[in-house]
């Protein structure tokens, strides 16, 4: 039972490079989320989606973009990477909205040098 799968697990980027973090879920969940987790800080929401074709900004969206063309996939795009984007990125999904638990992938550890 795969759940939420994120790739890659680790990545080092140079300043100004771009990349896409992949996230896929096999639970047929409608809602998907991207969070970042910095040392000593709580998880911060970057973007979320309530279904295919529908996305919206979270608390810290600057420097990121998302798309949701299918129920299963929710990629996160970093354009013009900056050192401030060094973080651990988690993708999560839930069946419906805020009264349902979210299920997380194991994260992508991204360093920007």
Partner 1 sequence: EDQVTQSPEALRLQEGESSSLNCSYTVSGLRGLFWYRQDPGKGPEFLFTLYSAGEEKEKERLKATLTKKESFLHITAPKPEDSATYLCAVPPSPPTWGSQGNLIFGKGTKLSVKP
Residues making contact with partner 1 (CB under 8 A):
4, 31, 33, 35, 40-43, 45, 48, 50, 56-59, 90, 92, 94, 96-107
* Min separation Cβ 78 and partner 1, Å: 19
Strands (E), the chain: 4-7, 10-13, 19-25, 31-37, 44-51, 54-57, 64-66, 76-78, 87-94, 103-104, 108-112
CA distance 8 to 43: 19
DSSP class of 84: G
Decide whether 66 or 92 has the Cβ nearer to partner 1.
92
Q: How far is the CB of 53 from partner 1 (least distance, A)?
A: 15
- CB of 79 or CB of 106, closer to partner 1: 106
Q: Between 14 and 28, whose beta carbon lies closer to partner 1?
A: 28
């Amino acid at each position: 039972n795969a759940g939420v799968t994120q790739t890659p697990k680790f990545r080092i980027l140079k300043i100004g490079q771009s990349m896409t973090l992949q996230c896929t879920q096999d639970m047929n969940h409608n809602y998907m989320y991207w969070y970042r987790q910095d040392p000593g800080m709580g998880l911060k929401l970057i973007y979320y989606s309530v279904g295919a074709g529908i996305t919206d900004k979270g608390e810290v969206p600057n420097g990121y973009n998302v798309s949701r063309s299918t129920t299963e996939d929710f990629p996160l795009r970093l354009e013009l990477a900056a050192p401030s984007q060094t973080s651990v990125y988690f993708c999560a999904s839930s069946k419906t909205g805020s009264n349902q638990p979210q299920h997380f992938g194991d994260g992508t550890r991204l360093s920007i040098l």
